[in-house]
Structure 1
């Protein structure tokens, strides 16, 4: 038992060190910290084969990841979402559902697994890397899952950054008001940081609306994760390594934290502490996933996953633009 605990501590220390380096580098170059954590982890893959630290890496990539996702409940603010009115949420929710469906169906067209279609479609539709992390925790264990997750993080971060640059130009070209530009930015860009960056480059009003819309998508993360969980729930004992038949504890934690936060039972300092803790620990978990994943395996998946994520990104943006044009 002591040997196992020591191995977990050593693995966790390695992942934490990678996370610290990634945070410093990302801060220096104003770049996504999750991407740096993953890339640095991939560079350290050789350490994963050492039995003295492998249990700790496995723990961080699975149990710690689930714990981080549970803590994300404190990010949900129901009052901000309700203040948007009914039309923008409807546009966004329908677009999200269609994007995930598109991801699953087009993955099959490209000869990719349904698991990758759900993972990439959910990441594009909901909230980027956080959504990919949450969805991956309830998918059945698959030999390709980790390399698909790594590729999803790289692809989502790349497309989200490109969206942050070009979507404000598209909103201006289409003549959207600041409010409508915020709906487009918040509904179509994947990661929160890029949504904030793109929205506030247009105007403070656009930035506020984009942030609220993005919060709506984040609020829908757990319902979507639960749908994925029940869709892939093991039937009998046929699915080796499948998802267990009960609702995971981290989902329950998410909803409890969201509830107590929104009814005012958590003090502001504790909310900020949990928010910061979840963000920092999530970097550690992403680093662990990087260490577990072989870069050669990621490259081996070829061009089709990249094409799928690009098409999903364009599909979501097209749906949001169509909804704005039709209803405003």
Structure 2
């Protein structure tokens, strides 16, 4: 018992600092309508001095690592299998093919551009699945690397900025192309990176488009488990596990995500509980993003150069073109 109390005292200052930054980021996001992850990152980086001080150091590290994993696991409470089945075969085809090709091409191009191939997996996964949440989940599953946190931060910044841009531009594109309600909702849900931006774009067009876009997006979120499994298997098979212990074939938080999807799909879980779990997931992810920001300095992001920006913009453009092509072909 005394050990638990001592551990709590050790973590408390840093956890509270991350919680304050998360609360401020949430308020700013609601007030200005911008991505909450981006605000959390910016506020965290402004509080970077705390990560080097003994009272907050351990709590910040705990929040950026352990709470991140709990946040990813609780994402499972947002999805049911019935939601996926109700969409029909066309969105499943678009999401499945887009996911495989976007991540695969990102890894190849990243390697050709001189990056670690795992950066292509990280950025491609964030683009193809669910933006900042996917970037954090994949980062947690990948082995330790001196540049991993910087790559994660850059991916979160890039995918958040691109998600905001696509939220504004893609509805105009859908109207210009004359897409019907089902096709427009599928396109928005299959291409915009973050869940909040999908919701904003979809419901800005119509209720029906917003409903379809949200369900398609949640289908992409459900792809977290197989992609995490692929990421861990790939790093083990290619000897990229680093100097630390080999990661488990399927991390516990990915198992938790799958279990919660299954439980939520039964309908036995009261709606208030699933909603509370989903909200708690958001809080954990925002707080962990603030913690990651506190552990990084701005000058580390400035030194990344132009090539990673080109890679992420290219991934986003490729995903949009591929989704439109698949929708036209399967119509």
Q: Is contact 1:229-1:243 (8 Å) kept?
A: no
Query: Does residue 8 of structure 1 match 2:23?
Result: no
Normalising by structure 1, we get a TM-score of 0.95
Q: Is contact 1:233-1:245 (8 Å) kept?
A: no
Q: Which residue is equivalent to 2:76?
A: 73
Extract unaligned runs of 5+ from structure 1.
none
Q: 1:237 to 1:284 in 2, by over 3 A?
A: closer
Of the candidates 170, 174, 177, which is equivalent to residue 171 of structure 1?
174
Q: Which residue is equivalent to 1:187?
A: 190
Q: Which residue is equivalent to 2:217?
A: 214
Q: Which residue is equivalent to 1:285?
A: 288
Counterpart-to-counterpart distance in 1, 2:80 and 2:161: 28
Counterpart-to-counterpart distance in 2, 1:243 and 1:15: 29
Q: Which residue is equivalent to 1:309?
A: 312
Question: Counterparts of 1:191-210 in structure 2 under 5 Å?
Answer: 191-210=194-213
Counterpart-to-counterpart distance in 1, 2:314 and 2:198: 19
Q: 1:78 to 1:245 in 2, by over 3 A?
A: closer
* Count of paired positions: 328
- The offset of 1:31, in angstroms, is 1.6
Q: Is contact 1:234-1:243 (8 Å) kept?
A: no
Counterpart-to-counterpart distance in 1, 2:77 and 2:100: 24
- The offset of 1:242, in angstroms, is 5.2
Of the candidates 230, 249, 252, which is equivalent to residue 249 of structure 1?
252
Q: 1:242 to 1:294 in 2, by over 3 A?
A: farther
Q: Which residue is equivalent to 1:142?
A: 145
3-state secondary structure, aligned to 1:169 = helix
Counterpart-to-counterpart distance in 1, 2:294 and 2:310: 25
Query: Does residue 56 of structure 1 match 2:59?
Result: yes
Counterpart-to-counterpart distance in 1, 2:298 and 2:177: 40
Q: Is contact 2:232-2:247 (8 Å) kept?
A: no
Large movers: runs of 4+ above 4 Å: 1-4, 234-238
Q: How large is the Cα RMSD of the aligned pairs?
A: 1.7
Q: Is contact 2:127-2:316 (8 Å) kept?
A: yes
User: What are the Cα deviations for residues 151-173 of structure 1, in whole angstroms up to 9, with x where unaligned?
Assistant: 11111011111111111111122
3-state secondary structure, aligned to 1:265 = coil
Extract unaligned runs of 5+ from structure 2.
none
3-state secondary structure, aligned to 2:305 = coil
Normalising by structure 2, we get a TM-score of 0.95
Q: Which residue is equivalent to 1:122?
A: 125
